[in-house]
Every structure is written in C-alpha cells, then in structure tokens.
Structure 1
Amino acid sequence: MKRFAFLVLVAAIFIGCSDRDDNLDGVNIRIKNESSVTFDLVQVGSEAMLHENIGADEYSGYLEYETAYQYAYINIKVGEENYILQPIDFVGETPLENGFYTYALNISEAGDVILNFRVD
C-alpha cells in the first residue's frame, strides 16, 4: 500500500509540473545590465518596448514581443547620454521561438553597446 501511495504521489508531481514556457504566445525578453552604471531606459526594438531603471548587475522584468531575434535595435539611456546598437537588417535570421531570453548589455569604453544573447 505504501508503494502504491508513493507511486501516485510521484505521478501527481510529474503531471503537475510544466515548463514556464509552455503555452506562451510570444517571445519574452529581459535585460541584464552588465555595466557599472544604471540604465535609466533601454529601448529594444519599437518605441513601445521600454525597460526602465536597471541598476548595475541587475535584471529588468520580462516584456513580451510578437517577434524577436538574437539581436535587435537597442537604445540605452544613461543620464543625458544615448548608446545605440543599430542592426543593418535581419535577412537570413530566424525569429526566436516562444520562450524566455535575456539580452545582457554592457557599454564599452568607446561607447559601443555590447550584446550577449542568452536563452533562459
């Protein structure tokens, strides 16, 4: 009887578990600030997709995108300064599958945006 109860418990745990990306309708992207300054505003793609107040070595919340790629137009605002990563095009690129991703961002000494793409 104990074995049967144990098997039922194990089966219930496995049936109840699901990945957080099951049944997603979009691509969820967050920002990780890998720099030593606070990002006041980070625009990823369109003007409507804004991540705000991301401290050094911190993460933003996820925003849901209909379509996204491993890289994107990124505008980082720090005080009065803007740092921009401007892709030329997405020809030949495959859109990301529905799921969770992180754009880890840093700013080089020359003022260039450095993007490290990660699957969460």
Structure 2
Amino acid sequence: MKLAGIFALVFLFFTACHIQDGGPRGVFIRVHNNSDVSFESVTVQSGNQERTFGEVLSRSQSEYRQFDYAFRYGSVWLRAGGRDFSLIPDDYVGETPLRDGYYTYRVGLSSANLADAELTFDLVEDD
C-alpha cells in the first residue's frame, strides 16, 4: 500500500511539472549576437508574439524566451553603435510553425561599417 502511494505521488509530481515525454513543451527562442558590436533593446516578433531580449553583448547570447508558436524567421529590432536596425519579413505565407524545441536566432551585421550595415539572420536548432 505504501508503494502505491509513493508511485501516485511521483506520478502527480511529474504531471504537475509538465514532464511527460522528456521534451520541451513549447517553442523557446534566444538571440545570439553574431557581431563585434553589442546590441541594445533587442526585440523579436515571430508568430503572434513579440518578446524583448534587452541587451545582447557582442558574440554572446540571450536567455531563452517562450513563444506560443514561431517560424524559422521573425522581425528583429535593435540598436547598435547608436543606430537603429530592423529586419522585417514580408509575410509568413507557406511557412510551417517550428515544432516544440529550443532555437537560436543568430543575428549579425553585414558590414563592420555600421553606416552601410544591415542585419543578417540565421536559424539554429539547438540540441
């Protein structure tokens, strides 16, 4: 009888923590600054949500933020070297939402000369 009670408590604990299959439940995205300039006020919109990542130092990455759903790309707004940058896709027509998991939006600058630079963007699926 004690063993059954212990199993019941363990089952309730794992159910309450949403750990059922060992995988993440949701889409988690972080921003990696792939440039030599620190980014300020980083904001990403993908799917139906906008998330603020704040400052992301040069060659470093932010913490993950959860999205209800997201796509392999998104809109990005940030400030670097005193200049505002943005990358806004036309639409998501034909795109399939990302499956639950952890992803990195790797954002960089196309040129070391900030006056001529534009944002670059890659998606990395994290392990």
Moved over 2 A (4+): none
* Coordinate RMSD, CA, aligned: 2.1
Partner of residue 98 from structure 2, selected from 92, 96, 99: 96
Instruction: State the match for 2:23 in structure 1.
Output: 22
Question: What does the per-residue CA deviation read over 1:81-104, in whole Å, with 9 as the maximum and x for residues that have no partner?
Answer: 111111000000000011100001
How far apart, CA to CA, are the structure 2 residues paired with 1:79 and 1:119?
29
Gaps of 5+ in 2: 1-18
CA separation in 1, counterparts of 2:22 and 2:102? 7
**Which letter does structure 1 place at the counterpart of 2:32?**
K
CA–CA distance in 2 between the matches of 1:108 and 1:42? 17
What percentage of residue pairs aligned between the two structures are identical? 31
- Which residue of the other structure, out of 92, 112, 117, is the alignment partner of 1:111? 117
Partners of 2:31 and 2:53 within 8 A in 1: yes
Supply the distance in 1 between the matched residues of 2:57 and 2:64 (Cα, whole angstroms).
15
TM-score by length of 1: 0.76
C-alpha contact (below 8 Å) 2:40/2:55 kept by paired residues? yes
Matching residue's letter, 1:64: Q
Q: Return the offset for 1:23.
A: 4.7
1:71-90 matches, within 5 Å, as: 71-90=73-92
Deviation at 1:107?
1.1
Q: Aligned-pair distance for 1:106?
A: 0.3
| Structure 1 alignment gaps of length 5 or more | 1-17
